[in-house]
Amino acid sequence: MFTGIIQAVGRIESVKPQGKDVCLSITAEALGLADVALGDSIAVNGVCLTVEQVSPKSFQVHVSAETLNCTAGLDVAGAVNLEKALRLADRLGGHLVSGHVDGVGVVTRFEAVGDCWMLVVQAQHALSRYIAVKGSITLNGVSLTVNQIAQDTFSINLIPHTLQMTNLKNLQPGSRVNLEVDLIARYLDRMQQWETEK
């Protein structure tokens, strides 16, 4: 479990194919890896991955073909948002994030509005039912608040601090982003479906 508050921006340095899967080597010195052990979970661009090797400056993870099929940005070198798993005593500064990506969105607009930036994302139609104005959504692992939604498109206001501390500053129209909808909305939807299946 995570909060969506990014702790560091690391970098995928190498992508090694292993059949249909890949092994990633990620530099993450700024994350502080001294307390990371084999088997720990780290969210990489919002995707919960298991640490298989760790050194003072980097760690390695295995990414399955299934995960690659439903996410974006884990098969190429580049900057990634990182967050260690939540401890029970930690502050919950964002919202409850599972690290299980629900789908991939596409940036349609990204432009400055005063000191902030407006980010507009086209979500997959099946995910739109879970996105609500003033609700939470995770984008590349970052906990964000939805400002507006129209059909399958939603907009977010990004403050300068968020841009400085994450890789969202690298987005542009056409960029693909990992989306995780609100955990509670997902469970409420399933409970309603279950009622109709009786």
pTM confidence score? 0.92
One-letter amino acid for residue 116 of the chain: C
Query: Is residue 38 in a domain?
Result: yes
Same domain, 191 and 117: yes
Domain CATH number, residue 14 = 2.40.30.20
Structural domain tally of the chain?
A: 2
SS3 state at 160: helix
Are 39 and 111 part of one and the same domain?
Answer: no
Q: Calculate mean pLDDT across residues 99-120.
A: 96
On whether residue 30 sits in a domain, the answer given is yes
**Of the given ranges (13-17, 22-26, 92-96), which has the lowest mean pLDDT?**
92-96
Domain assignment present for 143:
yes
161 located within any domain: yes
Amino acid residing at 155: S
| Domain interval for residue 125 | 103-197
Q: Are residues 76 and 144 in the same domain?
A: no
Same domain for 114 and 188, yes or no, is: yes
Q: What is the pLDDT of residue 96?
A: 86
Choose among 23, 21, 29, 31: nearest CA to 60.
23
Q: Both 184 and 115 in a single domain?
A: yes
Q: Are residues 121 and 192 in the same domain?
A: yes
Same domain flag for 113 and 64: no
In this prediction, residues 78-91 reach a mean pLDDT of 91
| DSSP letter string, 88-145 | TTS---S--B-S---EEEEEEEEEEETTEEEEEEEPPHHHHTT--TT-EEEETTEEEE
Q: 61 and 109, same structural domain? A: no
Cα distance between residue 196 and residue 51, in whole Å = 40
Q: What is the DSSP letter of 30?
A: G
Please tell me the distance from the alpha carbon of residue 105 to that of residue 159, in angstroms, as a whole number.
20
**Least reliable range by pLDDT among 10-24, 91-105, 139-153:** 91-105
